[in-house]
Amino acid sequence: MKKAGRERVAKRIARAGVCSRRDAERLIAEGRVSVDGKVLQSPAFDVGPESWIVVDGKPLPVAEPTRLFRYHKPRGVLTAARDPEGRPTIYDRLPPDLPRLVPVGRLDIGSEGLLLLTNDGELKRKLELPSTGWTRRYRARVHRLPEPEQLARLLAGITVDGITYGPIQVTVDRSQGDNAWVMVALKEGKNREVRRVMEYIGHPVSRLIRIAYGPFQLGQLPRGEVDEVNPKVVREQMGAAAPKAVRRDPNRRA
């Protein structure tokens, strides 16, 4: 049984905002992480509140309180740290005074709308887990008005190019000439899911806007703007799953 206050070292690294939990496990496997002066060989190692963790020769940063932000991502901006082709990324557009943030899920370069950002890698993982069960909601402009029978197929689940998608609820918002606006709700959020399934049934998407991720809404947030979610709201929505910041004596040295 794990002692109170102890947790996997990769989880602690992720919560400090250094990288994701998966990347932390990779760093450990490469021998780049030590705890209390001992280089780790396996991520199956628990640490306590006072454990001294060093990654690539640098002490693990003191964990800041968990923070979550809403960002209205514009079209034409990549959800990535950098791009070999020189296209703009979200980090080129975010204000410079923000802490180091990682995106919760992604929006492809042609999509826009709500993108959640957090300084806590463990919170990111929890928000992305399918078991969280949160619904992602989108407004999509599609070519031609879908038939009720097509929408029923999506609600029952559909397989496209060998990939099985769970139930997708699509309701018609309004028709506009040769196009229609539809509201899309899904729980999985697989890569380019909305675009792929709508194209498969013959209604390709020409504009896609995410308007909600679970209880967090885009609302009236202007395009390109970022806004912090009240920490109390994050705790209320996440409940016991919301990680707490770990404090460490700033005067302790390796």
Catalytic residue among 108, 161, 227, 249: 108
Tens digits of residue pLDDT in 46-84: 999 889 999 999 999 877 788 999 999 999 999 998 899
Average pLDDT over residues 186-206: 93
| From-to residues of CATH 3.30.70.580 in the chain | 68-131+215-240
Predicted confidence at residue 110, as pLDDT, reads: 96
Strands 169-176 and 136-143, sheet pairing = unpaired
CATH topology of domain 68-131+215-240: Alpha-Beta Plaits (3.30.70)
Instruction: Answer positive or negative: Cα dihedral of 126, 46, 67, 103.
Output: negative
Positions of CATH 3.30.70.1560 in the chain: 135-213
More confident residue, 173 or 188: 173
Listed residue (68, 83, 192) closest to 140, CA to CA:
192
Burial tier of 17 (Cβ tally within 10 Å: 0-12, 13-18, 19+):
buried
Q: Which CATH number fits domain 7-61: 3.40.50.10470, 3.30.420.40, 1.10.1740.10, 3.10.290.10?
A: 3.10.290.10
Q: When comparing pLDDT for 72 and 246, which is higher?
A: 72
- pLDDT tens for each residue of 84-123: 999 999 999 999 999 889 999 899 999 999 999 998 888 8
Provide the pLDDT confidence category of residue 15 given band limits of 50, 70 and 90.
Answer: confident
241 pLDDT more than 50: no
Distance CA 128, CA 133 (A): 9
Work out the percent of the chain whose per-residue pLDDT is above 90: 69
Local confidence band at 4 (pLDDT 50, 70, 90 cut-offs): low
Domain with CATH 3.10.290.10 in the chain: 7-61
Q: Which residues of 105-120 are buried (b: 16+ CB within 10 A; e: fewer)?
A: ebbebebbbbbbbbbb
**Res. 243: pLDDT tops 70:** no
pTM of the shown model: 0.77
> What pLDDT score was predicted for residue 254?
34
Into which CATH architecture does domain 135-213 fall? 2-Layer Sandwich (3.30)
108 is catalytic: yes
Whether 126 has a pLDDT exceeding 80, the answer reads yes
pLDDT at 250 over 80: no
